[in-house]
């Protein structure tokens, strides 16, 4: 028996990196996993990997900046698996995250919000009835340490990710009576394949985290019954980089 046996999980943004690692780990722990992402090839690759290991997965190609597509995706998951117990929101658009505040356009900021807190809000709203019916629903939103630290030049990304944290805290308080926990993860991980000349991050452990070994297991903890008394929190699998914010 795995930690998530009998559970249904949606991972929104599961096509690569941390999202893929999370989807694959959840499936290995017994969950039926819906793999949501924009790129069909990525969706198919994750589903094929899960199934090759004996897991259960449903691939759904979905533009997470489109509310209509989110509603259709959630309906398809419920039709296929019968409900939803866990929602993971990890998607973002990496092509628009950098800008100084001085030069930041409203259009670029809007794209960060569309793929971040607005997309997360839509998936949460669409999943809420099923998370409530579960009796032990879990929502895991990926925010960012960049927003906490005000890292430059990530102005639009910082604004959007801090909005994710506010969304998470607000939903945690509102949805507590529905027995749904809502938490954030703020990871520092190598999702692009850092080369040998890439300087290490400024954290206590002096390395980037692994999506598979360092971040996905924390998401698993938040998805499992082990975390049933934690809600509204921001967990930081970041090698200790959050220490910088305590100055």
Q: Is 120 known to be catalytic?
A: no
Q: Are 96 and 103 in contact (CB under 8 A)?
A: no
Find how far residue 23's CA is from the centre of its chain.
Answer: 10
Output the CA angle 89-56-187, nearest 5 degrees: 30
Token pair of 210 as six digits = 């692994």
The pLDDT value given to residue 63:
98
Q: CA distances (Å), 207 to each of 98, 153, 155, 188, 239, in order?
A: 22, 21, 24, 9, 7
- The partner residues of 180 in beta bridges, in order of sequence, read 137
Residue 151: CB atoms within 10 A of its CB come to: 14
- Indicate the pTM of the whole model: 0.96
Measured between alpha carbons, how far is 51 from 44 in angstroms, rounded to an integer? Answer: 10
**Annotated catalytic residue: which of 120, 130, 154, 157?**
157
Top CATH class, 8-245 = alpha beta
Measured between alpha carbons, how far is 48 from 42 in angstroms, rounded to an integer? Answer: 10
The pLDDT value given to residue 82:
98
The pLDDT value given to residue 245:
66
The pLDDT value given to residue 201:
85
| CA nearest neighbour of 223 among 171, 182, 165, 162 | 182
- Contacts for 196 with CB less than 8 Å, ≥ 6 apart: none
Token pair of 198 as six digits = 């890439």
Q: CA distances (Å), 226 to each of 3, 109, 184, 192, 219, in order?
A: 9, 37, 16, 31, 11
Determine the straight-line distance between the first and last CA of the chain, rounded to whole angstroms.
Answer: 44
Reported as a single tens digit per residue, the pLDDT across 128-172 is 999 999 999 999 999 999 999 999 999 999 999 999 999 999 999
CB-based burial label for 43 (10 Å; 0-12, 13-18, 19+): buried
- Residue by residue, pLDDT tens for the chain (247 residues) are 799 999 999 999 999 999 999 999 999 999 999 999 999 999 999 999 999 999 999 999 999 999 999 999 999 999 999 999 999 999 999 999 999 999 999 999 999 999 999 999 999 999 999 999 999 999 999 999 999 999 999 999 999 999 999 999 999 999 999 999 999 999 999 887 777 778 888 899 999 999 999 999 999 999 999 999 999 999 999 999 988 765 5
The pLDDT value given to residue 62:
98
Instruction: Give the single-character DSSP code of 199.
Output: P
The pLDDT value given to residue 190:
87
Measured between alpha carbons, how far is 134 from 163 in angstroms, rounded to an integer? Answer: 27
């Amino acid at each position: 028996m795995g930690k998530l046996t009998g559970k249904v999980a949606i991972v929104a943004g599961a096509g690569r990196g941390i999202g893929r690692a999370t989807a694959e780990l959840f499936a290995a722990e017994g969950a039926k996993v819906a793999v949501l992402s924009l790129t069909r090839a990525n969706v198919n690759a994750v589903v094929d990997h899960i199934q090759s290991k004996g897991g259960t997965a449903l691939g759904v190609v979905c533009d997470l900046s489109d509310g209509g597509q989110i509603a259709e995706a959630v309906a398809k998951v419920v039709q296929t698996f019968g409900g939803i117990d866990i929602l993971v929101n990890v998607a973002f658009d990496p092509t628009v995250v950098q800008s100084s505040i001085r030069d930041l356009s409203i259009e670029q900021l809007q794209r960060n919000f569309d793929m971040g807190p607005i997309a997360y809000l839509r998936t949460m709203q669409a999943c809420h009835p099923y998370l409530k019916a579960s009796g032990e629903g879990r929502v895991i939103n990926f925010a960012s340490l960049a927003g906490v630290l005000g890292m430059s030049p990530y102005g639009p990304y910082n604004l959007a990710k801090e909005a994710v944290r506010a969304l998470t805290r607000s939903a945690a308080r509102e949805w507590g009576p529905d027995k749904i926990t809502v938490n954030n993860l703020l990871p520092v991980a190598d999702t692009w394949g850092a080369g040998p000349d890439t300087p290490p991050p400024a954290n206590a452990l002096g390395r980037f985290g692994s999506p598979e070994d360092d971040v996905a297991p924390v998401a698993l903890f938040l998805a499992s019954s082990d975390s049933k008394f934690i809600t509204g929190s921001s967990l930081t699998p970041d090698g200790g980089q959050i220490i910088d914010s305590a100055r």
